Amino acid sequence: MSKRRVAYYYDTDVGSYTYGLGHPMKPHRIRMAHELIAAYDMLDKMHILRPKRSTPQAMTAFHTDEYIHFLNKVTPETAEELTFHGTRFLVGDDNPPFEGVFEFCSISAGGSIDAANRLASGAADIAINWAGGLHHAKKREASGFCYINDIVLGILELLRTYPRVLYIDIDCHHGDGVEEAFYTTDRVMTCSFHKYGEYFPGTGTQEDRGRGKGKGYAINVPLKDGMTDESFQSIFEPILSKIMEVYQPSAVVLQCGADSLSGDKLGCFNLSMQGHAHSVQFMRQYNVPLILLGGGGYTVKNVARAWAYETACALGIEDTINPNLPWNEYFEWFGPRYRLEVATNNMEDQNLKDASLERVRITALEQLNELQTAPSVQMQDTPRESLGHHLGFDRDGQDRNELDERLAQHARFVYHLQEFDSASSATSEDESWDSDDSNASNTRSTRGNNRFRNTHIERKRMSILNNHYYDVPVNEEGFEHYDIGPLGKTGKRRFFYSQARWDEGCEEVVLGQPKAYAGGALAELMQRGGKETNGIDVDEVDDDWDDMPVDS
C-alpha cells in the first residue's frame, strides 16, 4: 500500500479519568492502545501531536452555552442541584458527573478539531484521534457515555475548507448525535452501520433519510445480531462504493467504534479484528483526506488491539507487524493468548435469515440512486480564523462578559421558540420533530385571559446500559421555556411563560392572577383603599378601621 502522511493525536492525561467504579466506559483503554502502538514502533512512522485542549467557546460551535457552562462547573457533589434532580443535561445513569469531566471532554474535542485543521491545512493525509468518536452527545444533553460531540465539532471545522464531508459510523450503536446535527444539510452525508431493534438509542431506520435540503443524505443500515466479517463486507463495500461515486466527498470521517467487535460487553456483533479494520483499509484506498476516531468499545483489551491494528492499517504496514504481542506496560492484560487478534465466536448471524441483509442493501442502494449529482457550494474564500478569534475572545484567556452571555442565551431561546412555532404550523398537533420531545405530549389550554395551564409531561429516554426506556419529567418549575413542546392551533406564544401581564385597570404590569376589581377603575380602587369587596358594599366593610389605636 502507498504511504500516507499520518498525524496521530494523543494526550497523556486522557487515560487518567474514570467514569466511576463499575462503569463500562474506560478511558484507560486509550492509553492501552497507545502503549501497544508504541510497542510496535509505529510512533516513529507518524507525526505525533498533543492536541490543544478545546475551549468552551470552541465547543459552543455546536453545543449550547448553558450546557457547556454546566459541564465546566459540575462536580459529583453539585450534580444533583445543577441537573435539577437529574432532569437536565445528565439524564439517567449512563453519564455520571465524574471528577474532571470537562477536562476529559476538552481533550476529546480538541483532538478532533486539531485533526480536522491538520487535514484542511494539507499537512496530513490521515489524522487519528482515538480519544474522539463520541457520537451520541446532543446539542444540550449528554447521552450514551458521550458528553461532547467531538465528531460534529471536527466536521464543522472541515466544512470551513471542504465542500462535502462523508461521515461513516461502524459502531454497534447508531450515530444519532451526528446524524441529528446534519439532518437538514447536503454538505454532510452520514452513513451508519448499527444494530437496530430494542437497542440503544432506538433510532436509525432506513426511513430516516434527512429533511429539507438534507433529504437523502442520511443513510442508515440497520443490522441484526451476529454480524460476521463476510456479511459486513458484503454490505459495507457496495454501499460505500456507491456513496463515493455519487456524493464524491472531499473528506471522510470514519468512526471506528470497537463495540462491534466479537465478545464486546455491550455489543452484539461477531466481527473479528481484521473484519472491523477492513473499513479502514477500504476507505484508505480512495486517497481522500481521512480522519479516524474512536468511539464505543467495552472489552478494553480488544479495543486496544483493534485500534493499534487500525493504526497500522492507516500506515499501510498491517501485513508486516508480528501477530505475537511485544512486551509493553499492559502486557498481562492481553492474556491468555497474548496475540494481536480478536477471534470470532459461534454466534449465529441473524442477518442471513429471511434475506434481511439483502433487502437492507437493496434499499440503501436504491436510496443512493435517487441522488443525481454531488451537491456543490458557492465558491468563496476560506476563512482564516473564526469570528470569536477575530474579535479577540480567545486571546490571553479573555472571555465574553456576562452581558454578552445573557444576550446569547436569550437569542438562542427565542430562536428555538420560533423553530417550534414554525414546526407546529407545518405538522399536525400531535407530531413533534424535536428529538428531545419525542414520545411526549403537551396539553395546553387557553381561557379568558389566554393563559397557559402547564400540565405534567414526560419524555422517553433509553439507557445504553440495559436498553430499557425510562421517563424523564420535563417543565420543572422555573424552566418551562426549555421544553415547550408544540403548540396547539389556538395557543399563543408566551415567551418564558411569565406570570407578568398588563392590567387594564391599573394600567401597569402586574404579577400573579387577575384581580376581579368592582368596576375596574383605578379611581374606585383607590377609593376602597385597595381592598377587594367581592360584591359587598364598601361602606359595610370594617367601619371601625379608622378608630384602631396607632402606635406613636
* pLDDT of the residue at 85: 86
CA atoms of 482 and 275, how far apart (whole Å): 44
Q: Cα(65)–Cα(491) distance, rounded to whole angstroms?
A: 29
Q: What's the confidence (pLDDT) of residue 527?
A: 57
Per-block mean pLDDT, blocks of 10 residues, the chain (552 long): 88 96 95 97 97 96 96 94 89 92 97 98 97 96 96 97 97 97 97 95 95 96 97 98 96 98 96 98 97 97 98 96 96 94 95 93 96 76 62 52 62 58 47 40 36 47 86 52 38 39 61 46 55 50 47 48
Residues marked as catalytic: 136
SS3 225: coil
Whether the Cβ atoms of residue 66 and residue 27 lie closer than 8 Å to each other = no
Helix, strand or coil for residue 404? helix
Which helix (H) or strand (E) segment is 8 a member of? Answer: strand 6-9
Sign of CA dihedral 431, 188, 136, 86: negative
Angle between helices 356-369 and 229-246 (to 10 degrees): 10
Residue 3: its pLDDT value, please? Answer: 85
Full DSSP string of 322-391 = -SBPPP-TTGGGGTTT-BS---------GGGGGGHHHHHHHHHHHHHHT--S-------PPPSS-HHHHH
**Percent of the chain having pLDDT more than 70?**
70
- pLDDT tens across 409-451, in order? 666 666 565 555 545 544 443 443 443 443 333 333 333 333 3
pLDDT in tens, 331-367: 999 999 999 999 999 999 999 988 999 999 999 999 9
- Cis bond leading into 222, ω under 30°? no
Residue with cell 487500525: 310
pLDDT for 87: 85
Residue 497 pLDDT: 39
**Per-residue model confidence (pLDDT) at position 128:** 98
> What's residue 57's pLDDT?
94
Q: Helix (H) and strand (E) counts for the chain?
A: 14, 12
